[in-house]
């Protein structure tokens, strides 16, 4: 069955504060959603990520050069990658329907991408 990566982008301006009652209620919605996709066999993996200020970006200049590290995300943006789900769904429409159920879709965005199938090495 095809796999789809659901990338969860939080909008820091519109998301509920982390310790607010709204955030705690949303956390419960995530638990319910995750339990549902586990029970129906679509869940492959998923995890929340730390905030973007904890990120380290790695770039290598030139062929075989030394890595250059920088703090934070690669670009200034109000939206940041907050987590992901990897699902097995029969088609894109089914993956999009699940993405719409993710609580962050109400104040951020969910990017749905098909996972590229590679031939066995």
pLDDT at 36: 97
> Residue 120 domain-assigned?
no
pLDDT at 14: 67
> Residue 102 domain-assigned?
yes
> Residue 8 domain-assigned?
yes
> Residue 75 domain-assigned?
yes
Question: In the chain, which residue ranges form alpha helices assigned H by DSSP?
Answer: 21-39, 92-99
Number of domains in the chain: 1
pLDDT one-digit tens code per residue, 10-22: 876 666 777 788 8
Mean pLDDT of 49-77: 78
pLDDT one-digit tens code per residue, 69-98: 777 655 556 778 999 999 999 999 999 999
What are the structure tokens assigned to 118, written together? Answer: 């590679």
Residue 24: which domain range? 3-114
d(CA 92, CA 48): 23
Single out the residue of 11, 20, 2, 18 nearest to residue 113, CA to CA: 2
Direct distance between the N- and C-terminal alpha carbons of the chain, in angstroms, rounded to an integer = 19
**Which CATH number do you get for residue 108?**
3.30.70.1060
**Whole-prediction pTM:** 0.83
Sign of CA dihedral 39, 21, 53, 103: positive
């Amino acid at each position: 069955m095809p796999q789809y990566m659901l990338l969860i982008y939080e909008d820091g301006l519109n998301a509920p504060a982390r310790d607010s009652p709204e955030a705690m209620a949303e956390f419960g919605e995530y638990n319910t959603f995750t339990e549902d996709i586990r029970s129906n066999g679509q869940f492959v993996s998923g995890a929340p990520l730390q905030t973007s200020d904890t990120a380290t970006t790695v770039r290598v200049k030139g062929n075989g050069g030394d890595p250059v590290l920088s703090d934070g995300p690669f670009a200034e943006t109000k939206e940041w990658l907050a987590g992901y789900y990897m699902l097995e769904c029969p088609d894109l429409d089914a993956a999009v329907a699940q993405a719409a159920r993710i609580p962050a879709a109400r104040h951020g965005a969910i990017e749905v991408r098909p996972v590229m199938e590679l031939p066995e090495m």
